[in-house]
């Protein structure tokens, strides 16, 4: 009998599927013709399968809304961008690059600031002004004085319901610590993955989705590649939500917000409505994309 579900774990050619109706976990294999067609099921895939005896077989993979290569995971709704205040120091350029990549994959980013305890009050207040700018640009931001306060962690968890969530951010930003505060099992899973990676062996990374508050959370920090190769100069302005908000008022359709006259986005940068650091990063990325073009 054909049934439907979602792959929540893959391990050496077996796929654990969470059945939509019964909420049971069923171990399956992929039909041989997937291999011939060079299709590989990945965690997060919605599938049709048949269960017979101990082992089910995946018959069909539904179209993916999006997918990442590292970690291999499909149909992601949101990414928690873990950003440290210090060690490594906060960098709006790096944060903007991560945000652009996430938006490019049709994933909703949420920003979570860690290591605020290492800042004095003045530096924290300055950083808070910057992060308020991201809030104003339309992002959900978690930047309390105590990074892992129960209230803030619970507030984050409320965003998990009915969604697939991944975590990302540069190494050392505190992803494992945050995962530990959310669910110690998640923290453990991540620590094991980092250890195997740090040993320098080519280990197969297994990804699992954990059920938390009615949503599924990946146990692995994602996005190891931050090149802008896949993004072209037409798409880039659409990946800054605050540019999108005002671009309808630019004189030219398809305005790049660089040298065009009567550009509403540039006007908003000048009057401080749009953060200058975001606009500067936009110009920097535009330049980077153009230099890739010349190379290839």
Residue 45, annotated as binding a ligand: no
CATH of domain 2-63: 2.40.50.140
Domain boundaries, the chain: 2-63, 68-221, 236-295
Residue 250, annotated as binding a ligand: yes
One fold for both 2-63 and 236-295? Answer: no
Q: What was the pLDDT predicted at 205?
A: 58
Mean pLDDT (whole number) for 216-232:
75
Residue 206, annotated as binding a ligand: no
pTM attached to this predicted model: 0.90
pLDDT at 283 over 70: yes
Q: What was the pLDDT predicted at 133?
A: 96
In the chain, the percentage of residues whose pLDDT exceeds 70 is 91
Q: What was the pLDDT predicted at 259?
A: 94
Give the C-alpha distances (Å, rounded to integers) separating 66 from 36, 104, 136, 156.
23, 10, 27, 23
Q: If you classify domain 68-221 with CATH, what class do you get? A: alpha beta
Distance CA 228, CA 267 (A): 26
Q: What was the pLDDT predicted at 231?
A: 92
Residue 257, annotated as binding a ligand: yes
The structure tokens 């951010």 sit at 169
Residue 255, annotated as binding a ligand: yes
Q: What was the pLDDT predicted at 201?
A: 42
Residue 173, annotated as binding a ligand: yes
Q: What is the pLDDT of residues 28-50, one digit of tens each?
A: 999 888 888 888 999 999 999 99
Share the mean pLDDT of the chain: 90
Residue 115, annotated as binding a ligand: yes
Residue 254, annotated as binding a ligand: no
Q: What was the pLDDT predicted at 206?
A: 72
Residue 175, annotated as binding a ligand: yes
Q: What was the pLDDT predicted at 296?
A: 60
In the chain, the percentage of residues whose pLDDT exceeds 90 is 72
Q: Which fold has domain 236-295?
A: Ribonucleotide Reductase Protein R1; domain 1 (1.10.40)
Q: What was the pLDDT predicted at 169?
A: 86
102 closest CA partner among 156, 131, 66: 66
Q: What was the pLDDT predicted at 135?
A: 97
Q: What was the pLDDT predicted at 195?
A: 59
Phi-psi region of 5 (alpha: psi -120 to 50; beta: other; left: phi over 0): beta
Residue 28, annotated as binding a ligand: no
Q: Contact at 8 Å (CB) between 176 and 209?
A: no
Residue 263, annotated as binding a ligand: yes
Residue 120, annotated as binding a ligand: no
Q: What is the pLDDT of residues 138-195, one digit of tens each?
A: 999 999 999 999 999 999 999 999 999 999 888 888 888 898 899 888 766 666 655 5
Distance CA 7, CA 41 (A): 8
Mean pLDDT (whole number) for 194-210:
60
Of 295 and 6, more confident:
6
Q: What is the pLDDT of residues 78-134, one digit of tens each?
A: 999 999 999 999 999 999 999 999 999 999 999 999 999 999 999 999 999 999 999
Residue 202, annotated as binding a ligand: no
């Amino acid at each position: 009998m054909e049934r439907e579900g979602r792959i929540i774990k893959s391990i050496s050619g077996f796929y654990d599927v969470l059945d939509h109706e019964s909420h049971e976990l069923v171990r399956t294999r992929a039909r041989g013709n997937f291999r011939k067609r060079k299709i590989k099921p990945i965690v997060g895939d919605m599938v049709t399968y048949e269960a017979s005896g101990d082992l089910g077989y995946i018959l069909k993979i539904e179209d993916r809304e999006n997918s990442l290569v590292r970690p291999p995971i499909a149909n992601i709704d949101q990414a928690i961008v873990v950003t440290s205040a210090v060690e490594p120091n906060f960098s709006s350029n790096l944060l903007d690059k991560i945000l652009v990549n996430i938006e490019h994959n049709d994933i909703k980013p949420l920003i979570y600031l860690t290591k605020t305890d290492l800042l004095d009050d003045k530096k924290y207040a300055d950083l808070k002004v910057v992060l308020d700018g991201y809030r104003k640009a339309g992002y959900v931001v978690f930047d309390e004085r105590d990074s892992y306060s129960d209230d803030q962690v619970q507030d984050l968890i409320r965003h998990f319901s009915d969604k697939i969530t991944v975590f990302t951010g540069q190494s050392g930003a505190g992803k494992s610590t945050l995962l530990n505060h959310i669910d110690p099992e998640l923290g453990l899973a991540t620590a094991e993955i980092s250890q195997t990676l740090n040993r320098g062996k080519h280990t197969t990374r297994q990804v699992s989705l954990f059920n938390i508050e009615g949503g599924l959370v990946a146990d692995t920090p994602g996005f190891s590649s931050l090149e802008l190769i896949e993004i072209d100069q037409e798409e880039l302005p659409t990946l800054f939500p605050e540019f999108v908000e005002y671009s309808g008022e630019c004189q030219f359709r398809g305005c790049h917000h660089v040298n065009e006259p009567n550009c509403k986005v540039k006007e908003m940068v000048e009057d401080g409505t749009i953060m200058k650091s975001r606009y500067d990063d936009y110009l920097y990325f535009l330049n980077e994309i153009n230099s890739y073009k010349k190379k290839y």
